[in-house]
Amino acid sequence: MLAILRLVTILAILVGVGLFLTRPQRVDADLLDGLTPDAERGALVFHAGGCASCHVDPAAEPADPPVLAGGYRIESPFGTFVAPNITPTEAGIAGWSAQDLANALIKGVSPKGANYYPAFPYTTYTHMQPQDVVDLKAYLDTLPGSDAVAPVHDLGFPFTVRRGLALWKMINLRDDWVLAEASTPEIERGRYLVEALGHCGECHTPRDLTGGLDRSAWLTGAPNPSGQGTIPGIAPAELDWSAEDIAYYLESGFTPNYDSAGGEMADVVSNMARLPAEDRAAIAAYLKALP
């Protein structure tokens, strides 16, 4: 009887520790205090973050402003993820506060405390500045609504257990920068656009066994998650373009060799072309500054 009691006690302790370690993490309650939202500036954050690339229904006709009804399918070795509706409706994010959006972007946690899958790139959005979060929320609230309900993710066990993602976050959700030192304000801005808003590493960096980004091979290229081909490297050793070539490509989609952006990169260019020229120059400066 005593042995059974000890076993039950040990199991209870293990369960308690597990629940503690996997509890939802949220941003500080006062993170957004005193910030005034600016929807016009939020539009730039929206384009820099590439939100439309995933959240516009791929079967829908192009629209401006975009309708973020979701439905885009993201293939991965862990299963298929489906981007949700994030329009200001009950099917989307109606009722969300700016704090809710901050928790989603920075901590990868839903308003109800569920962990989001990292197909939503919060491991890079975690660097977002609080002002950008409130501005983005203000802009999202101005966009057209949709009552479409996106399909659920197509995943197998154990990836269906969201609570376990908290342990994944302990390894992969980091607040340090890959380029630790930004020698100029331009490179610092470029670092923010590439490592945070633009989440360029999500495609251009290979992943480790956990599915997290292998930061030791930052932006050196990666297998396509769909299993079709590879995504090219954009670090200096893989891309010998000048800073001017990079900035022009992000604006026009044309390479120095008179080729043009295709596939998902065409969407990236479409977003980057909406940013100020100095932001595209900052991205180029950052890429050239990488070791």
CA 241 centroid distance within chain: 26
Looking at the DSSP bridge assignments, the partners of residue 230 are: 223
Spell out a b/e string for 18-48, using b for 16 or more CB atoms within 10 Å of the CB, else e: eeeebebbbbeeebbeeeebbbebbbbbbbb
Q: What is the pLDDT, as a whole number, of residue 2?
A: 54
Rounded to an integer, what distance in angstroms lies between the CA atom of residue 55 and that of residue 136?
14
Among 275, 289, 44, smallest CA distance to 187 is for: 289
Q: Over the chain (291 residues), what is each successive 10-residue block's mean pLDDT? A: 53 45 75 96 96 88 85 84 93 94 96 91 96 98 92 79 86 93 95 95 91 93 79 93 95 90 87 96 96 89
Domain ranges within the chain, ordered by starting residue? 26-173, 176-291
Q: What is the pLDDT, as a whole number, of residue 48?
A: 96
Residue pair 85/146 in contact (Cβ under 8 Å)? The answer is yes
What SS3 class is residue 60?
A: coil
Residue pair 125/193 in contact (Cβ under 8 Å)? The answer is no
Q: What is the pLDDT, as a whole number, of residue 46?
A: 97
CA 252 centroid distance within chain: 24
Q: What is the pLDDT, as a whole number, of residue 226?
A: 63
Q: What is the pLDDT, as a whole number, of residue 113?
A: 92
Which whole-number Å values give the CA distances from 47 to 40, 52, 164, 174, 253, in the listed order?
11, 8, 32, 24, 16
